[in-house]
Every structure is written in structure tokens, then in C-alpha cells.
Amino acid sequence: MKKICALCILLVIAFSSRAQLTLTKAANAPIVGTIDKTDNYDSSIAVPKSTGTNKSWNFTSFVNSMANGSQTYVTSSSTPSASAFPGTNLAASDGSGYYDYYNSQTNNLDYLGAVDVPGNDVTIFSNPITMMVWPFTFGTSNADALIGTETFSTSTFNFTGNMNISGTGTGTVTLPNGQIFTNCLQITRTYTYIITGSFTGTITVKEYEYWTGAYRTPIINISYSTIKQPTVTQKGFNITVNAIANVGIEETVGGDGKVIVYPNPAKDIINVQLEENAIAQKLELFDMMGRSVLFVENANKINVSSLPKGVYLLNVKYKDHYMQKQITITE
């Protein structure tokens, strides 16, 4: 009897482990063409950020502050400052002359620094920050030291510190628009910077990221910061929401143009209607574990009759726009 009970416990543990979201390089690392489009939000009440398993994080109380942004991942060689970051193979551009530089490897994603061309501001990490290790799931953790220099006009700051990252929670996320994502992963990051030079002080940052398997960037990021100088201490926080995830069935993509996806639920054919009857560059379906299961190019419909019933995420690539819709497939 005891042996049977022990076996049951092991089976339950194994099943639970498989059910938890695991982020992978193939499905979740940013790649050339990834768009990180975010909306800034505010909250007048306590922000949900409990840790542990089977949690429910509801963010419908968030209010859009209208300060929105976007970054597009590009090849480093296409940017003006790649030579300052040996080993870089990926960059993110916000279109204004600001670039973040990365080295995307098989087992980790390293952050090498940034350049603000108009602002004449350059940050280089001589000891890069390992932003993510692959695969990553609940209970995964990694600690990394960082060393870098920032040069701004005629001022220079040197900093040392560390970054710790941990998979601290699993559960369900409800976005500000009410859209619900199950099987999400909460990641907690803590940064510490000790700064010397033209500016002296200590900066600590704690971030809570919420991921679903279908995206290459978090669906929500909540950041708390503290800056301690010899005579003053400043605190702040920032909330950003993945604007691509936080959409309804219809989304404005430029001017009066709309993207309409129908029917939903669907049994066989999903149609995508674009402005001026334009053709989508790519339609791609992902399951809720973030795996690509079906795609077509240069088409406005996709046949899903071969897929098992369930919930999927449809990516639509159209001109310079990238959007995603949750789709239910029925038998």
C-alpha cells in the first residue's frame, strides 16, 4: 500500500511539472523581427504580485497613462554602433536612435549595453548581464555579476553589481482589457548597481515579469526602483503591458484601418480581413505552450481543421504591424 501511495505522489509531481510553462529559446527568445510594443499603465491600489503556484494575478484595475513605446529587434550589423559591442548578434531599436545590444546564445541571452545616438550616451557592460537562461521555468534561478561604464557627454560613470533572476510563480493573468491567459510564469529580477565617478550612489531595481508561452517578451512588467545618493533617496515604479497581447478582436493598425479575425470560435477556416483588402505576410498559430503548430505566408486565411480543439494564439504579420489574437478551435 505504501508503495502505491508513493507512486501516486510521484505521478502527481511529474504531471504538475509537465503542466508548468517552460520558456525556451526557440519559442521565447527575441529574434530579428520581434516587436516589443508596450503601453504604460498606472495603479492607485496595491499591485498583485504574490508568488507561488496556482496564483491569479488580476490587472484590470490598471489605468493607461498613454505614454506608450515600441522596440523592434534587428540585426546588430544594421545599426550604427555595433562595433562597440563585440559579440553582439541582436539589437533592439526604438526608431529614435536608441539601441540595446544583445548576444543571443543557445543557453542564454546576454545584455551588452546601449547607445543613445542623439543623446551622445553610451553604456557598455564589460561583464555583460545574463538576462535569461534557457530553458526557464518555475524554480529556475540564476545570479550574475555585472561591470560597466556609462559615458554621457563629458561625464563618466562606473558601476558594479549583480542581477538575480528566479521563476517565482505560476498561474493565471488577467490583462487590463480583461483578456485572460492561463499557464503563465512569473519571473522576479533584482538588480543592484553601485555607481562611482561623476555620479555616486546605489541603485536597486526589482521587477516582476509575467510570461505566456506564445510571446517573446513579457505580457506585463512591473518595476520598482530606489536610488540612494549621499544626501537624497528617490523611489519610483513603472508598469508596462504588452500592447500586442492586450487587444480585443479588432485592432487599429494605422489610420482608420482595422484587422478583423473571424470566425472565433472556428472549426476549419480562420479569415483575416485587412484594410484595403491587403494580404497578410504571415499567419502563424501557436499552442498555449508557445509552440508553432501551423503557418501560411501571403494569405488571409488559414485552415485549422487538422488541429485538435483548444485555445491557440494567431500571429498576424502585416506591413510594419504585428498583432496577436486568441482563437478557440472547436470540433
pLDDT averaged per 10 residues, the chain (length 331):
40 46 92 87 92 95 82 93 96 94 97 95 96 97 96 92 98 88 95 93 97 91 95 94 67 50 86 83 79 89 91 78 76 71
**162 and 139 share a domain?**
yes
**127 and 52 share a domain?**
yes
**53 and 72 share a domain?**
yes
pLDDT at 19: 59
Q: Domain for residue 13, yes or no?
A: no
- Among 186, 213, 242, where does a domain finish? 242
**51 and 157 share a domain?**
yes
DSSP element (H, E) containing 258: strand 257-262
**119 and 263 share a domain?**
no
pLDDT at 291: 73
- Among 186, 221, 242, where does a domain finish? 242
pLDDT at 34: 85
**102 and 132 share a domain?**
yes
Q: Domain for residue 6, yes or no?
A: no
Nine-digit cell string for 147: 561591470
Q: Please give the Cα distance from 313 to 131 (Å, whole number).
A: 25
- Among 195, 212, 242, where does a domain finish? 242
- Smallest Cα–Cα separation from 318: which of 254, 270, 269? 254
pLDDT at 276: 72
Q: With b meaning 16 or more CB within 10 Å and e meaning fewer, what string describes 126-162?
A: eebbbbbbbebebebeeebebebebeeeeeebbbebe
pLDDT at 320: 61
Handedness of CA 147, 151, 154, 155 (dihedral sign): negative
pLDDT at 258: 62
Instruction: Give yes or no for a contact between 51 and 185, defined as CB atoms under 8 angstroms apart.
Output: no
Q: Domain for residue 292, yes or no?
A: yes
109-161 residue pLDDT tens: 999 999 999 999 999 999 999 999 999 999 999 999 999 999 988 899 999 99
Domain that holds residue 135: 25-242
Domain count for the chain: 2
| CATH number (domain holding residue 269) | 2.60.40.3080
